[in-house]
A and B are shown apart, each in its own frame.
Chain A
Amino acid sequence: MSRSEISTQPLVVKILGGLALAAVGALTGAALANAIEGRNMPWADSLALAMAVALITIGVLSAITMALRPSTVPKGCGVLQIVVFLLAGAMFLAPMYASAFVTADTVFAGIAVLLAVQTVANVMLWRRADEMLRQVMAETSAIAFWALQTALFLYAAAERLGLVDTISGWGLTGILMAVYLVSSIAAAARRGIH
């Protein structure tokens, strides 16, 4: 085995990197808030837009991080993860914006194709992942399932009793993705993955 040390970044570089990420987050958040407020969007569309921006931002930042890594660091499943994030973001944007350019049937067909590609990418990601990444994915699914089935039952009971309004499938999908993202952050943080 050859000796190849990973370049340890100085604290100043880490702090500057953190500040740069914070600035990107602040600018992205401000732009998103302006977009939502200016267009008076329904809450389901606002949530979907927020999810799309979050997913695409994570994908782009992951790509930048991957490109800046020393060549000695294995690429791992990074490319597949980026593809999954970007496709998920695109699929959240398409139902809201693509129909301004093409027919609804065409948009739906495009979404079906993107979903098929993303499913293949997800399967490849699972097969190529090492045992810890698989465990993180499994824990994410378990946390998200527990949280969502609990919330869904409470909501369904309240809806049956006429205590709350009906939520559309589009709204539920946005909630599902938000819970899944938070679950994945929690599962990854437990293993020290940031």
Chain B
Amino acid sequence: MNNHLRTLRADRGWSQADLAAALGVSRQTVNALETGRYDPSLPLAFKIARVFEQPIEAIFSDTGA
């Protein structure tokens, strides 16, 4: 699964630690999300969408199928 997390975060001038604090996860998790090493659960994906005030499909895109 692809995502635009790094771009969205950079646009807002947030650090990985800032985003991690907003999402209630570790900085390592934010890094793994941004580098595509970890796909978030549905609840975390919704939380990310709320933090960036965008729909989920604007942040994540499916690479398969």
Query: Which residues of A does B touch, CB under 8 Å?
Result: 1-6, 72-74, 76-77, 130-133, 135, 190-193
In B41-59, the 8 Å CB interface with A consists of 41, 44
In B28-48, the 8 Å CB interface with A consists of 28-29, 31-32, 35, 37-38, 40-41, 44
List residues of chain A with CB within 8 A of the CB of B24.
130
Which of the listed residues A2, A76, A190, A192 has the most CB atoms from chain B within 10 Å of its own CB?
A192
Check A133–B15 contact: CB distance below 8 A. no
Q: How large is the interface on B (under 10, 10 to 19, 20 to 34, 35 or more residues)?
A: 20 to 34
Check B15–A76 contact: CB distance below 8 A. no
Query: Which residues of B does A touch, CB under 8 Å?
Result: 12-18, 20-22, 24-29, 31-32, 35, 37-38, 40-41, 44
Contact sample, A vs B, 11 pairs, CB 8 Å cutoff: A1-B12, A1-B21, A2-B18, A3-B14, A3-B18, A4-B15, A74-B21, A77-B26, A132-B29, A133-B29, A135-B38
Determine the residue in chain A with the shortest Cβ distance to B16. A6
List residues of chain A with CB within 8 A of the CB of B37.
190-192
> What is the interface of chain A mostly: helix, strand, loop, or mixed?
loop
Given contacts A191-B28, A192-B28, contact A131 B20 (CB under 8 A): no
Whole-angstrom distance from the CB of B40 to the nearest CB of chain A? 7
List residues of chain A with CB within 8 A of the CB of B12.
1
Determine the residue in chain A with the shortest Cβ distance to B40. A131
Check A72–B17 contact: CB distance below 8 A. yes
Q: Which 7 A-B pairs have the closest CB atoms?
A: A130-B25, A132-B29, A191-B32, A192-B37, A76-B26, A5-B15, A3-B13
Check B18–A74 contact: CB distance below 8 A. no
Check B17–A132 contact: CB distance below 8 A. no
List residues of chain A with CB within 8 A of the CB of B32.
132, 191-193
